[in-house]
Amino acid sequence: MLRVDRRRLRQPVRHHPAGGSRPRRLAIRTPARGAGTLVTTAHDVDVRHGRAWVDPDETVRIGYTVATPPEPTKTVVLLHGAPQTRYEWRKVMMPLAAAGYRVIMPDYRGAGASDKPRDGYDKWTMAGDIHSLVHETLGVAEPVSLVGHDLGSTLALSFALRYRDDVTSATFMEAPLPGTAYYEWRVAQKSAWQFAFHANPDIAVYLTHGRERWYVNRFFDELTYQPDAISNDDLDVYARAFEAPGAMRAMCEVYRELDRDADDNRAALRRDGKLTIPVLASGGASGPLSKNFRAMCEEVADSVTDQLVPDCGHWVAEEQPTYFTEMFCEFDGAARACRPSAAVGETTAYESATETQ
């Protein structure tokens, strides 16, 4: 794995007020492998940023960005990881919109522009935040595709288990999923020190206060394969987000609730069975978790496809945005093609597509 030299000079990135890159006014062509090309110009995509009250008592606001093409035919919800915000998806937002997706990118509870309450960081509650944002605030009527990265994958799993009828497909990347045997093994390893460290917020906040930039930088230094994928300007965006009052503690609370999430997920799996939607198990091929993705996802889902991203570390959408976009569009297109139930013994479009991978 390459070490990232943050001293190298890089091209500056211009940021819009919500933290993402300013859209370029040109045609973005993003063909999915084996599919036709959909072309949408950047200036045709409506990009909006906002904050919405989402919990029943209207005490928590969620920050979000939505990119909507002129005639969206489907919706994808992108759930970021840590130590990140929705800015993680800046490179894939417009290509996904060009492929016909309404792209919803929230800052989950405690991150970025979202409120940072003292509690509510179990993923069942956080899934309720996202569901309210998507279906009530933004008025999305149809089931959505979920993509989770890092801690966002733990949130995506809880969303899919809680709102089964509202999910078309789920993509889990770069995280041990609570409730699986692999999760229990992984968090016990010395190399996974961050789980225990963040589960003690008082200690973690005290030790990182005033050192947020250094702390954020450490994760990217160790887990990045493509050294030019994430610039110093990008790191500044993430560092500023975690310098905000309450932000580091909130991230710790997201970690601290993972064992509770494991109990909640196991209970849901016992009660309702495994997920029946198509699931994509993915991540960077150079990462230490890569060989375990498929088996882990098969603990929670009946229909799992695995595809690793070559020449990529932990930060998939930032290190290999084109590959990620094409991979997701191909997988999700096949998943949507087979959404109507097939008769027993019939081969669905999804099964036919995955057999060739």
Host domain of residue 345? 27-355
Evaluate whether residue 10 is within a structural domain.
no
Mean pLDDT, residues 179-208 taken together:
93
Mean pLDDT, residues 240-261 taken together:
96
Distance from the Cα of residue 289 to its chain's centroid: 16
Q: pLDDT value at position 348?
A: 35
Q: pLDDT value at position 266?
A: 98
Q: pLDDT value at position 41?
A: 53
- Contacts of residue 99, defined as CB under 8 A and 6 or more positions apart, other chains included, come to 30, 32, 38, 325, 329
Q: What is the total count of domains within the chain?
A: 1
Evaluate whether residue 14 is within a structural domain.
no
Q: Determine what percent of the chain is predicted with pLDDT higher than 90.
A: 76
Q: pLDDT value at position 42?
A: 63
Active site residues: 150, 255, 314
CATH number for the domain that contains residue 191: 3.40.50.1820
* Average pLDDT of the residues of the chain: 85
Q: pLDDT value at position 87?
A: 98
Evaluate whether residue 283 is within a structural domain.
yes
Evaluate whether residue 11 is within a structural domain.
no
Evaluate whether residue 3 is within a structural domain.
no
- Report whether pLDDT(8) > 50: no
Q: pLDDT value at position 255?
A: 97
Q: pLDDT value at position 239?
A: 96
Q: pLDDT value at position 290?
A: 82
Evaluate whether residue 185 is within a structural domain.
yes
Evaluate whether residue 112 is within a structural domain.
yes
Mean pLDDT, residues 45-60 taken together:
89
Evaluate whether residue 2 is within a structural domain.
no
Q: pLDDT value at position 287?
A: 80
CB 317 within 8 A of CB 324: yes
Q: What does the longest C-alpha to C-alpha distance in the chain come to?
A: 61
pLDDT band at residue 338 under the 50/70/90 scheme: confident
Q: pLDDT value at position 340?
A: 55
Six token digits for residue 110: 């405690």
d(CA 269, CA 290): 24
**Which range, 70-74, 196-200, 329-333, is most confident?**
329-333
- Identity of the residue numbered 261: D
d(CA 183, CA 73): 35
- Contacts of residue 168, defined as CB under 8 A and 6 or more positions apart, other chains included, come to 74, 143, 144, 145, 277, 332, 335, 336, 339
Q: pLDDT value at position 43?
A: 67
